[in-house]
Amino acid sequence: MKPTHVLFVGATGSIGRYAVEEGRAQGYKVRALVRDKSRAHFAPDVEVFEGDLTSVDSMREALDGIDGIVFTQGSNGGPTATETVDYGAVRNALEALDGRPVRISLMTSIGVTNMNNDYNRSTQAHDWKRRSERLVRASGNEYTIVRPGWFDMEGANEHHLKFEQGDRKDPQGPQDGSVSREQIAQTLVTALGYDSANRKTLELVDVPGQAQTDAELDAMFAALKSDPLGSVDGVEDRDNFPQKCQPKRFLEELQHVEDMRK
């Protein structure tokens, strides 16, 4: 299902700004969800919706008439902020949709399945981002999940996108995988329009070479393995985040998302 009207969540962020422009360039009707209209500076044809991603009611209004969502929000905070923003925006959007189908592009992070490191132990960022991925897979919607490397740390001649699966790098720095913000936005928005990108989870980095066209990205999506039907994890994700160890509130929310699709 190729959408026509797309909501951009995290629209004023460092990736979201580029994603909004990419959405315009690809011909979508664009709605940008922002907290403060006075800080939003978009082209005149972008519909700016002032709302609160932490509120289901606000998300319901923002999603009126929408058939595609690009999630680029990020808290860069501790466990509470990550749960409220990174995970919470996805949960609230799905709750607001109440089973209505949309096409979803979700940005999380390379290394999101590396649960046992100092960064994740202190912030729980990987935990909550990974749970947001699980909600999207369980929702029954068409989706693409993109896990980008380090932002804007690539070399001067590194513009050729590389899709990977399995999330095995456990990156410690840009040398383990980086990608430009513009190309993250391109990948997220391009994924909305191709059946080949549906039910695909991928890590995204730049390597030396020329940037690909959108049509070339279509072939790259097609070459990826699809996430298994009925699974809440990516196709080659490591088995290190068992459901029995998840917080009760998340398990209840996951079950609710699954029930809404029935």
Domains and CATH numbers, the chain: 5-260 (3.40.50.720)
Model confidence pLDDT, tens digit, residues 66-78: 999 999 999 977 8
Residue 152: closest CA among 173, 185, 174: 174
Q: Which of 22-36, 58-72, 116-130 has the lowest mean pLDDT?
A: 116-130
Residue 231 has pLDDT above 70, yes or no: yes
Q: Which of 61-70, 164-173, 224-233, 241-250 has the lowest mean pLDDT?
A: 164-173
Cβ atoms within 10 A of the Cβ of 128, count? Answer: 27
Model confidence pLDDT, tens digit, residues 245-262: 999 999 999 999 999 987
Residue 154 has pLDDT above 80, yes or no: no
Task: Please give the Cα distance from 228 to 199 (Å, whole number).
Answer: 8
Cβ atoms within 10 A of the Cβ of 227, count? Answer: 23
Q: What is the pTM of this model?
A: 0.96
Residue 53 has pLDDT above 70, yes or no: yes
* Position 211 confidence tier, pLDDT thresholds 50, 70, 90: very high
Residue 23: closest CA among 11, 41, 40: 11
Q: What pLDDT sits at residue 168?
A: 84
Model confidence pLDDT, tens digit, residues 119-142: 888 889 999 999 999 999 999 999
pLDDT > 70: percent of the chain: 97
